[in-house]
Structure 1
Amino acid sequence: MELREGDFEAFFAAPFAAYGDTTPYVSPMKSDLRRFYTAGENPLFPTSDNFALFTAHRDGQILGRIGAHVHPASNETHGTNKAYFAYFDCADDAEAAAALLQAAESWARKRGFDTLAGNFNLTAMQQIGVMTGGFDGVPYVDQVYGPPHIAKLLEANGYEAYFPMQTFETDLEAFQPSSMLGPAQREILASPDWSFAPVTGKDIPARLDDARTLLNSGFANNPMFVPLTREEFDFQAKELKWIIDTRITSVLHYQGQPAGVVLVIPDLNPFIRATRSRFSWTTPWHFLVNRLRRDRALVVYLSVRSDLQGKGIMGAMLATLLPKMREAGYKKLGITWIWDENHGSLRQMERIGAKPLHRTHLFRKALT
């Protein structure tokens, strides 16, 4: 067994080697993964001491990978002393898994952290969790995916599952807008105080700024949430202006100010899979093919300004937006993770007819 640190090429290649060609797993684009782990470019990592990349090898074969990192703002906000692991992808190999997890634990211990938790790829507002159920469900872009043995390898190394979550999928062709429309929603849609802000190519920068404001306000009391600075949001949303289908994202204003957002993007996983997560001369062709054939979209997040929550705003937005998605040719809508205790969001899933797609948990281990 050979353990390497800092070998980015092996880190990128690891899930392809560990899972083979038949897995539903789809890797981030290689250029994005490199950008995420570039100190000074990613605002999360001012220096290279903020993270480490480990890969496990045997007889020239890559068996797995894991990243370890710190999110100081999260520890400060929530009064914790955690380090995080990310992108834990491994063959069903006990020796390799133990070597990778021990390397991440050692990295965290040396820096004085008392807990290691993950997957955080790389923060709570990006991909999080380890799959524990729903393995037949085809993942959307920005949803985690891993085979059943990953959770078992974590448990075998002393990690406990916590913070249960689900992802969801809804059939847009079966959606009935009337299921969302009560008196409060009808009043919102009829009132001149409420208006849908324009989402066109030239408006996207303004709408993304609305989206950041509403994210920070609407999620302020959610567990693990850390407000995003403009720099952090712009880094994470760097490619959105090229990806957003302006027909299927919605920002609602109240008296001229941002009130609610449903940030939606087309599912890019078929495109990313076709390119094997690498840019080449065929990439533009694959992107065009995906654009012509796409029929799945993903809700990155939905949020209502904190002082306006509980007034029926999200129902009014979804009743308006989902039929527009159907008119644009989309048939399925995926939703990123929702915590089991987020009863308000779970009720919205019931109302739009969404069904659980994947079961996920965070995993943690005390290091003291």
Structure 2
Amino acid sequence: MSEAEIVIEPVSDKKGRRTFVDLGRHFAEREPFAVPQLRSEQMELIDPDRNPFFGHATVQLFIARRGGRPVGRISAHIDHLALELPPEQGMGPGTGMFGYFDAEDREVADALLARAEEWNRQQGMTSMLGPISLSIWEEPGLLIEGHDHHPMIMMGHHPAHYRGWIEGAGYAVTKRLVTYEVDVAAEFPPLIRRIVQSGERNPRITVRRIDLANWDREVEIVLGILNDAWSGNWGFVPFTDAEIAYAGKKMRQIIHEEINMIAELDGEPVAFMMTLPDINQVLLKSRGRLLPFGWLRILRWLRKPAGSDLRVPLMGVKRELHNSRVASQLAFMMISRIRDVAATSWNTKRAEIGWILDDNKGMVAIADAIGSKPNREYAIFGKPL
């Protein structure tokens, strides 16, 4: 244990947010498989004037210093929409959160977690979940399996020893989130091919590409389905109108029509599948920097990311169709069409599905049915206060 006192300082201005982000980047540089993200994007996520999450959340960022030197960071925050959820969905009244957890050693980790707990108690919270940085839709969970390869777009990477520090502070795993790796070139099993063929013969079903010419409408359709399809899931917090608009603006640059699908039943949109090229592959080459040539490399990649690995971060079927034959047809038809494009036109070899809640039997069954295998696992920890 160091003799120097650990001081936990609240972040209160833009300069403090810059230090907070740069500290996280410093810790990420120590990890051989972490992917450096764009600093400007990281700054935006913690800016209350730019990220609409702050419209329904109370957030306090903290930096730990030892002898004046920054040695760790953490967020303590309350998502007020999460407080309105039924407790059986994992959150509900009294649930505070922590995120953006980085620490130089166990002593710092203990001090940071204790400060986040104290802050949440002062706000009237009776339990704390984390890491969730900041929204459940951004980077939830701590990586606990799969440290030997790079994460894909919008997935975090954390040192393996963080788990021991968090559990040592009295936290237990509340929920596990799993990603699945898919061999894009592999043929689907005969049963899945038959399900796809039966769906293709169903005159009530139409599967179409996302229409970028009507992007705002498509974003509303997709996130409307998502809010319905996921509404009973653990940890679900609905997108607000401001977040829908924000997500649409941010995602537009990396959406390609041919690998994103909407499925309709009797002319009504009822399912979607979102697929993103893995920008982490180009961020690795530019080291997360736009200058001097990073911006050019990223622009070229955005125009034509052929050969890129792909990630399916979101898919959903309206709740009224859950556990029906039609739901299976819709899901596998979209997967099949995107896979065909990825394998032939994009020359993609590898894709990733998820994250998926480990107890989401429907989604786990879909992942298993197409021959995918778990490749990374994240945990969200909880503790009564």
339, 342, 352: which is aligned to 2:357?
Answer: 339
- C-alpha change, 1:258 and 1:120, in structure 2 (3 Å) is same
1:205 and 2:216 correspond: yes
1:56 maps to which residue?
A: 64
Query: Structure 2 stretches of 5 or more lacking a match?
Result: 1-5, 87-91
- C-alpha change, 1:229 and 1:20, in structure 2 (3 Å) is closer
Q: Which moved more, 1:356-365 or 1:277-286?
A: 277-286
Q: What amino acid maps onto 2:173 in structure 1?
A: A
Kindly indicate whether the alpha-carbon contact (under 8 Å) linking 1:177 and 1:320 is maintained by their aligned counterparts in 2: no
Q: What amino acid maps onto 1:199 in structure 2?
A: I
- C-alpha change, 1:21 and 1:152, in structure 2 (3 Å) is closer
Task: Calculate percent identity across the aligned residue pairs.
Answer: 24
What SS is found at the alignment partner of 2:176? Answer: strand
Post-superposition Cα deviations, 1:9-33, rounded to whole Å, max 9, x if no partner, equal 2211223322435522235432222
1:235-314 correspondence to structure 2 within 5 Å: 235-288=246-299, 290=301, 291-292=304-305, 294-309=307-322, 310=324, 311=326, 312=328, 313-314=330-331
Kindly indicate whether the alpha-carbon contact (under 8 Å) linking 1:18 and 1:63 is maintained by their aligned counterparts in 2: no
* Cα separation, 2, equivalents of 1:171 and 1:9: 40
TM-score by length of 2: 0.87
* Cα separation, 2, equivalents of 1:296 and 1:179: 26
- List, as ranges, runs of 4+ consecutive aligned residues in structure 1 with deviation greater than 4 Å: 291-294
1:135 maps to which residue?
A: 147
- C-alpha change, 1:107 and 1:228, in structure 2 (3 Å) is same
Question: In angstroms, what is the RMSD of aligned CA positions?
Answer: 2.2
1:4 maps to which residue?
A: 9
Alpha-carbon offset, residue 44 of structure 1: 2.3
- What is the number of equivalent residue pairs in this alignment? 364
- C-alpha change, 1:260 and 1:17, in structure 2 (3 Å) is same
Q: What amino acid maps onto 1:12 in structure 2?
A: V
Q: What amino acid maps onto 1:3 in structure 2?
A: I
* Cα separation, 1, equivalents of 2:55 and 2:214: 31
* Cα separation, 1, equivalents of 2:214 and 2:343: 23
What SS is found at the alignment partner of 2:158? Answer: coil
Kindly indicate whether the alpha-carbon contact (under 8 Å) linking 2:216 and 2:248 is maintained by their aligned counterparts in 1: no
- C-alpha change, 1:284 and 1:179, in structure 2 (3 Å) is farther
* Cα separation, 1, equivalents of 2:341 and 2:191: 16
* Cα separation, 2, equivalents of 1:241 and 1:111: 37
1:26 maps to which residue?
A: 35
TM-score by length of 1: 0.91
Kindly indicate whether the alpha-carbon contact (under 8 Å) linking 1:177 and 1:319 is maintained by their aligned counterparts in 2: no
What SS is found at the alignment partner of 2:175? Answer: strand
Kindly indicate whether the alpha-carbon contact (under 8 Å) linking 1:66 and 1:89 is maintained by their aligned counterparts in 2: yes
Alpha-carbon offset, residue 262 of structure 1: 0.6
Q: What amino acid maps onto 2:44 in structure 1?
A: R
Q: What amino acid maps onto 1:322 in structure 2?
A: R
Query: Structure 1 stretches of 5 or more lacking a match?
Result: none
Alpha-carbon offset, residue 354 of structure 1: 0.9
1:77 and 2:88 correspond: no
Kindly indicate whether the alpha-carbon contact (under 8 Å) linking 1:17 and 1:63 is maintained by their aligned counterparts in 2: no
1:167-246 correspondence to structure 2 within 5 Å: 167-176=179-188, 178-183=190-195, 185-246=196-257
* Cα separation, 1, equivalents of 2:69 and 2:278: 32
Kindly indicate whether the alpha-carbon contact (under 8 Å) linking 2:226 and 2:316 is maintained by their aligned counterparts in 1: yes
Q: Which moved more, 1:74-83 or 1:20-29?
A: 20-29
Kindly indicate whether the alpha-carbon contact (under 8 Å) linking 1:137 and 1:358 is maintained by their aligned counterparts in 2: no
What SS is found at the alignment partner of 2:258? Answer: coil
Alpha-carbon offset, residue 289 of structure 1: 5.2
* Cα separation, 1, equivalents of 2:305 and 2:144: 33
Kindly indicate whether the alpha-carbon contact (under 8 Å) linking 2:31 and 2:159 is maintained by their aligned counterparts in 1: no
Q: What amino acid maps onto 2:82 in structure 1?
A: S
Kindly indicate whether the alpha-carbon contact (under 8 Å) linking 2:276 and 2:310 is maintained by their aligned counterparts in 1: yes
Q: What amino acid maps onto 1:42 in structure 2?
A: N
* Cα separation, 2, equivalents of 1:34 and 1:146: 19
Alpha-carbon offset, residue 179 of structure 1: 4.8
